[in-house]
Amino acid sequence: MYSGVKSCNEGIKALQCDDYETAVSKFTKCLLSTSDSTDRCSLLQHRSTAYLELDQYDAAISDAKEYVKLRPRSRKGYLCWAKALEKKGDYPALCNVYINAIKRGDGLEKALLKPLIIANDKHNVMSNEFMEVLLLGNSKYCEKCRESNNLLRCSRCRVVYYCGTDHQKEDWGRHRTQCSFLADAHNFLLEEKSLRIMKDMSWLVLRKKFTSLTGITDWSRVWKHLECSACTSDVFYARMSESLSWSLNLVKAICKFNLADRKKLVIHILGADDTYNKEGYYSYFTGFFPFPELELVLIGPDLLQNTTTLKFTSASGSKISIYYVSDVWHNFTSQETYKPPDLIFASHPGIHEDFYDWKPTLKMIISQRIPTALTMWHKEDFISAIRVLENRYNADILFDGPSPFPSLVKRYARKSWNDYGIQVMNSYWLGIKGVKNSKHVN
């Protein structure tokens, strides 16, 4: 029994009485008086809880991290860490805590897999690491009941598991539509992992200049102009297509709305976040294509407010300027820097999801008859978006269907709140302009 036991008891009592500042003070005093790892873990967990109630999230996270260092095989430290991140609102980091713990081994998979799945479902967080955990079999659970005992693997895709043949038969009606695609995704990820492929953008070089936007018609034409200088694997080309698909579908949207001959275009990219810069969707890949002079404005509430303007010259000699606005579009329209765009473009905006408030933006876009192109992850998103635009806004949908440049990679990810399945970046798209008062263009 260490000397600070009295202060510890006082801290627990203060915690129970919602006197969190006193609780922090008492637990801190206890931590200064003991080096025993078991006692320290208990105190760190209590103090982290008190910090959370005081909205001191970083302090709570720091205590949880120290707990994990002391007891890396204990699920309690990871759960404490994840709880602090959830209250802070850092959902990607929350999921990564579980993912990294599972990848460590140490028997944590069984304890943390369900919290990871729940966190992904609840917060709509998807990542390549999460897909890898599922697809590569590091995490095993019954696809029907989520239990992890006495599992059998589907012999066709070798990805999903069942606790018995009864659940496999019950789930076959749903799984059979995904089975072959899961096998493809699984094999792609295995090869990608074995090659240790990373999206090193400097590996992609322009072998032959594009002469016009209208001449960029399909992937085979793109690969005649672009090549991967450091790797000839189909896996790397597929990986590159994920990022290229953003700029290429923007190219086709410009052509669809007959804007390719303009000398200058102002284009607003909606729903942007910081990953857009990290992945180079517009700050790097646009440089390969013969756009007119471009003023791209990336707009989204999740962008860093201090992101600086980027200006460069494309391979075709046109000037490209990229500006960043940390706000929603309908608020941005009232700012002094706002210029009416020639085109609005958004990838995977989720306009049908209730937790994204697209209503004010969509109303303004449609009422002002701004040409707008949207892409979707999969057919279900596409159908839902069509219904929203037609039924709620009577939008004039000028074109719709499979996009010209979907990613060449199939990913296993969350398709709805209770269903996982195959997703492909920018696989479907549609274009709108104003309300329905003109002939549909196929």
Question: How do residues 378-397 score in pLDDT, each as one tens digit?
Answer: 888 899 999 999 999 999 99
d(CA 44, CA 24): 10
Average pLDDT along the chain: 83
**Which pLDDT value is given to residue 311?**
94
Nearest to 118 by CA among 440, 417, 421, 424: 417
Segment 25-47 shows an average pLDDT of 90
**Which pLDDT value is given to residue 94?**
80
Residues with Cβ within 8 Å of 439's Cβ and at least 6 positions away in sequence, in order, are none
- Are 5-117 and 246-435 the same fold in CATH? no
Q: Are strands 343-347 and 264-270 parallel, antiparallel or unpaired?
A: parallel
Residue 298 near residue 325 (C-beta atoms within 8 A): yes
Q: Which amino acid is at 279?
A: E
Nearest to 307 by CA among 286, 322, 291: 322
- Look at 102-111, 139-148, 288-297 and tell me which has the smallest mean pLDDT: 102-111
Identify the residue with better confidence: 238 or 414: 238
Which residues make beta-bridge pairs with 203?
none
pLDDT digits (tens, 9 = 90+) for 231-267: 666 777 888 898 899 999 999 999 999 999 999 999 9
Residue 74 pLDDT > 90: no
* CATH classification code of 5-117: 1.25.40.10
Q: Would you call 430 helix, strand, or coil by DSSP? A: strand
DSSP label of 164: S
Identify the residue with better confidence: 21 or 107: 21
Q: How many Cα atoms are found within 13 Å in the side-chain-facing hemisphere of 199?
A: 14
Residue 126 pLDDT > 60: no
Q: What is the CA radius of gyration of the chain?
A: 25
**Which pLDDT value is given to residue 306?**
64
Residue 117 pLDDT > 90: no
Q: How many CB atoms lie within 10 A of CB 133?
A: 22
Residues with Cβ within 8 Å of 380's Cβ and at least 6 positions away in sequence, in order, are 415, 416
- Which CATH entry fits the domain spanning 246-435: 2.40.160, 3.40.50, 3.30.70, 2.30.31? 3.40.50
Residue 205 pLDDT > 70: yes
**Which pLDDT value is given to residue 136?**
46
Segment 164-182 shows an average pLDDT of 81
**Which pLDDT value is given to residue 175?**
80
Residue 341 pLDDT > 90: yes
- Look at 124-138, 263-277, 299-313 and tell me which has the smallest mean pLDDT: 124-138
Identify the residue with better confidence: 156 or 136: 156
Contacts of 60-67 with CB under 8 Å at 24 or more apart are 60/84, 60/87, 61/85, 61/88, 66/40, 67/41
Q: How many CB atoms lie within 10 A of CB 97?
A: 27
Tell me how far CA of residue 373 lies from CA of 82, 194, 261, 321, 346, in angstroms: 37, 37, 18, 20, 7
Residue 419 pLDDT > 80: no
Residue 287 near residue 310 (C-beta atoms within 8 A): no
Domain ranges of the chain: 5-117, 126-195, 246-435
- Look at 243-247, 402-406, 412-416 and tell me which has the smallest mean pLDDT: 412-416
pLDDT more than 70, % of the chain = 81
pLDDT more than 90, % of the chain = 46
Identify the residue with better confidence: 324 or 144: 324
Predicted confidence band of residue 116 (pLDDT cuts 50, 70, 90): confident
Residue 248 near residue 407 (C-beta atoms within 8 A): no
